[in-house]
Chains A and B, each alone.
Chain A
Amino acid sequence: DAMVIQNPRYQVTQFGKPVTLSCSQTLNHNVMYWYQQKSSQAPKLLFHYYDKDFNNEADTPDNFQSRRPNTSFCFLDIRSPGLGDAAMYLCATSTLIYNEQFFGPGTRLTVL
Chain B
Amino acid sequence: GDSVTQMEGPVTLSEEAFLTINCTYTATGYPSLFWYVQYPGEGLQLLLKATKADDKGSNKGFEATYRKETTSFHLEKGSVQVSDSAVYFCALRNTGTASKLTFGTGTRLQVTL
Q: Is B98 in the interface zone, CB < 8 Å from A?
A: yes
Interface 9-residue window, one of B11-19, B40-48, B67-75, B77-85 = B40-48
Chain A residues with Cβ below 8 Å from B41 are 108
Asked whether, in the complex, the Cβ of A42 is within 8 Å of the Cβ of B99, the reply is no
Whole-angstrom distance between the alpha carbons of A61 and B75 in the complex?
Answer: 34
Chain A residues with Cβ below 8 Å from B105 are 40-42
B45 contact from A6, A31, A50, A103, Cβ within 8 A = A103
Chain B residues with Cβ below 8 Å from A94 are 99
Q: Is A100 in the interface zone, CB < 8 Å from B?
A: yes
Q: Is A70 in the interface zone, CB < 8 Å from B?
A: no
Which positions 48-76 of chain A face chain B at CB distance < 8 Å? 48, 50, 55
Contact-residue size bin, chain A (C-beta under 8 Å from the other chain): 20 to 34
Q: Is A11 in the interface zone, CB < 8 Å from B?
A: no
A105 contact from B32, B42, B99, B104, Cβ within 8 A = B42
Whole-angstrom distance between the alpha carbons of A4 and B45 in the complex?
Answer: 11
- Nearest CB of chain A from residue B32's CB, rounded to whole Å: 5
Chain B residues with Cβ below 8 Å from A99 are 32, 34, 49, 51, 93, 99
CB < 8 Å A-B pair total: 53
Whole-angstrom distance between the alpha carbons of A55 and B105 in the complex?
Answer: 24
Which positions 75-101 of chain A face chain B at CB distance < 8 Å? 90, 92, 94, 96, 99-101
Chain B residues with Cβ below 8 Å from A41 are 105-106
- 0 or 1 for each of A8-42: is its CB under 8 Å from B? (1 = yes): 00000000000000000000000100000000111
- 0 or 1 for each of B29-73: is its CB under 8 Å from A? (1 = yes): 000101010000111111001010000000000000000000000
15 interchain pairs, CB-CB under 8 A: A40-B105, A42-B103, A42-B105, A43-B101, A90-B44, A96-B99, A99-B49, A100-B34, A100-B49, A101-B101, A102-B46, A103-B36, A103-B44, A103-B45, A106-B42
Apart from the given pairs A4-B43, A42-B105, A48-B98, 7 other A-B contacts in the complex at a CB distance below 8 Å = A43-B44, A43-B89, A43-B103, A99-B32, A99-B93, A103-B45, A105-B43
B residues bordering A, Cβ < 8 Å?
32, 34, 36, 41-46, 49, 51, 89, 93, 98-101, 103-106
